[in-house]
Amino acid sequence: MRPSGRAPDEMRVITIETGFTKHAEGSCLISFGDTRVLCTASVEERIPPWLRGKGEGWVTGEYSMLPRATHTRGSREAARGKQSGRTQEIQRLIGRSLRAVVDMKKLGERQITLDCDVIQADGGTRTASISGAWIALRLAVNSLMASGDIKHDPITGQVAAISCGIYKGTPVLDLDYPEDSDADADANFVLLEGGNIAEVQATAEGATYDEEALLRLLRLARMGCDGIFSAQLDATK
């Protein structure tokens, strides 16, 4: 039995509030149960130095947790003077995942930064970040197209992410914090609408796993992402 009473293949309730902040070109507050992440897309008319003059754009991600997003207060990375390895790993994953669905030529010489700030954490913050960042990106690009700054839609599809894991011997979908901290294996899947895979990160924590388990987790992730794809479309209609 899962601590939350959910069925093994049952997602938490997803809620999405778009336009959560007024300055960002695109934004949403996305919740997976008690996990809440504010995702904003910021458009800037400058690109990284190594891309200059190529006629291409760039999409990148940043991630942070508010100090008291978690059960006990964590110290502020700005005060410590550096970002943790975990933060940097997640930031790189967010950027990579979103770039998988953007045509950089069509985006043109501009950068979109996807800031994912975790307001409240209850497991699955990185996957919620990716799923919400797509919405913020979609809204920002819509606005660029409405203003005529972009002619052809650079977004080639939807991307979403979900965590699955092996909890007390059972593969389960959408780990919350009590499960995450006690799972034998923990896998994050970044999937594209249509079935393709952008990223698999499947890590043994308490116990290693076999190929069959990996495939069952992937199947659960597909189910979960189908629900997220629908919610993304609803939110950006």
Which segments are annotated as binding site for phosphate? 86, 124-126
Give the shortest CB-38-to-a copy of itself separation in angstroms.
7
Buried b (16+ CB within 10 A) or exposed e, 197-211: ebeeebeeeeeebee
Query: How large is the C-alpha radius of gyration of the chain?
Result: 18
Helix residue spans in 13-159 (DSSP H):
77-80, 85-99, 104-107, 125-146
Q: What is the DSSP letter of 11?
A: P
Annotated binding site: 86, 124-126
From 177, 237, 166, 234, select the one nearest 15 (Cα to Cα): 234
Looking at the Cβ atoms of 158 and 236, the one nearer to a copy of itself is: 158
Measuring CA to CA, which residue among 158, 159, 139, 141 is closest to residue 57? 141
**Cβ distance to a copy of itself smaller for residue 84 or 181:** 84
- By C-beta, is 82 or 237 nearer to a copy of itself? 82
Q: How far is the CB of 158 from a copy of itself (least distance, A)?
A: 12
- Minimum Å gap between C-beta 161 and a copy of itself is 13
Q: How far apart are CA 205 and CA 191, in angstroms?
A: 23
Where do contacts with a copy of itself occur on this chain (CB under 8 A)?
21-24, 27, 34, 38, 40, 42, 44, 62, 64, 66-73, 76-89, 91-92, 96, 100, 113, 115, 117, 119-121, 187, 192, 195-204, 208-211, 214-215, 218
> At its nearest, how many Å lie between a copy of itself and the CB of residue 48?
14
